[in-house]
């Protein structure tokens, strides 16, 4: 999300001047007070005058942000996080060509892919290629129409046989450029590619 602002903070009986940052579903305090809290652990979010107030466990927290900044941060904190399917651009409005299997992906992504790959007569708007090796990637990418953006989903980490550098090298060699990255699961990551000139 990338929201960041300076403030005074009262956290239970501790106080200090800090910078508060909201990023990726986590509220982070830096400076005079160091905290890192998942938004799922925060309750009772409310704006009172110049302060944003909430509870973390038994601790009451007040951030002196000024009224407008408090309202903006409260709104951002209460907004539901984007699903992985949404981050990948998979929705009911389009149809997805799926090549390979995403066995250990998040349930919301598997459900969205199943629905989008079975969208009847809707035009295909995106390809998702799930591969474990360079050979699988070569074979799969041949099946993707050249006009489609494509997410390549592959195992994370060294020693997997198909790392980020190799995926980029193989796709760039076929006329693609990478535009986004996303974590799919603890084991899988993904890069989005489009054809050059599109």
Residue 64 pLDDT > 70: yes
Domain limits for position 39: 3-78
- Check whether 73 has a pLDDT greater than 80: yes
Looking at 33, 55, 78, the residue that finishes a domain is 78
Q: What phi and psi values does residue 157 have, to the nearest 5 degrees?
A: 90, 165
Pair (59, 130) in one structural domain: no
Check residue 2 and give its pLDDT.
Answer: 55
137 and 188 co-located in one domain: yes
Counting the structural domains of the chain, the total is: 2
**What's the rounded Cα separation, in Å, for the pair 116 and 94?**
6
Average pLDDT value for residue range 23-44:
89
CATH number at residue 29: 2.30.29.160
Residue 188 — pLDDT band, cuts 50, 70, 90?
Answer: confident
Taking 90 as the threshold, does the pLDDT of residue 86 lie above it? Answer: no
Is 130:141 a contact under the CB 8 Å cutoff? no
Same domain? For 64 and 123 the reply is no
Higher-pLDDT residue of 97, 93? 97
**88 and 68, same structural domain?**
no
Residue 63 and residue 92 in one domain = no
46, 78, 110: which is the final residue of a domain? Answer: 78
Let me know whether 33 and 74 are in one domain. yes
- Domain boundary (53, 78, 103) is at 78
5-26 tens-digit pLDDT: 889 999 999 999 999 998 878 8
Average the pLDDT over each of 28-32, 59-63, 70-74, 105-109 and give the range with the smallest value: 105-109
The token pair that represents 41 in the structure block: 């652990």
Residue 37 pLDDT: 93
- Spell out the long-range contacts of 58-66 with Cβ–Cβ below 8 A and sequence spacing 24 or more: 58/12, 59/11, 59/12, 60/10, 60/12, 61/9, 61/10, 61/11, 61/12, 62/9, 62/10, 63/7, 63/8, 63/9, 63/20, 64/7, 64/8, 64/9, 64/10, 65/5, 65/7, 65/20
* Residue 178, pLDDT above cutoff 70: yes
Shared domain check, 148 and 57: no
User: Looking at the structure, do residues 42 and 73 belong to the same domain, yes or no?
Assistant: yes
Same domain? 69 vs 108:
no
126: alpha, beta or left? (left if phi > 0; alpha if psi -120 to 50): beta
Kindly state whether residues 41 and 88 are assigned to the same domain.
Answer: no
Q: How do residues 113-127 score in pLDDT, each as one tens digit? A: 766 665 555 678 888
Rounded CA gap, 62 and 118, in Å? 48
pLDDT of residue 1: 43
Q: What pLDDT, on a 0 to 100 scale, did the predictor assign at position 172? A: 93
Is 170 within 8 Å of 134 (Cβ atoms)?
Answer: yes
Give the pLDDT band of residue 100 (cuts 50, 70, 90): confident
Average pLDDT along the chain: 85
Note whether 153 and 182 are within 8 A (CB).
no
The pLDDT assigned to 192 comes to 93
């Amino acid at each position: 999300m990338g929201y960041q602002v300076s403030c005074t903070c009262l956290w239970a009986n501790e106080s200090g001047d800090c910078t508060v940052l909201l990023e990726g579903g986590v509220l982070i305090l830096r400076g005079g007070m160091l905290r890192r809290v998942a938004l799922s652990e925060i309750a009772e979010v409310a704006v009172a005058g110049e302060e944003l107030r909430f509870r973390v466990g038994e601790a009451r927290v007040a951030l002196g942000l000024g009224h407008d900044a408090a309202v903006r941060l409260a709104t951002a904190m209460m907004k539901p996080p984007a699903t992985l399917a949404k981050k990948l651009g998979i929705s009911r409005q389009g149809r997805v060509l799926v090549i390979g299997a995403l066995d250990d992906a998040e349930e919301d992504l598997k459900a969205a892919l199943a629905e989008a790959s079975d969208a009847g007569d809707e035009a295909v708007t995106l390809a998702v290629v799930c591969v474990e090796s360079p050979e699988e990637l070569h074979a799969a990418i041949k099946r993707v129409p050249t006009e489609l953006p494509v997410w390549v989903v592959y195992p994370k980490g060294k020693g997997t046989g198909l790392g980020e550098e190799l995926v980029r090298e193989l796709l760039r060699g076929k006329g693609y450029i990478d535009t986004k990255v996303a974590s799919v699961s603890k084991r899988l990551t993904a890069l989005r590619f489009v054809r050059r000139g599109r």
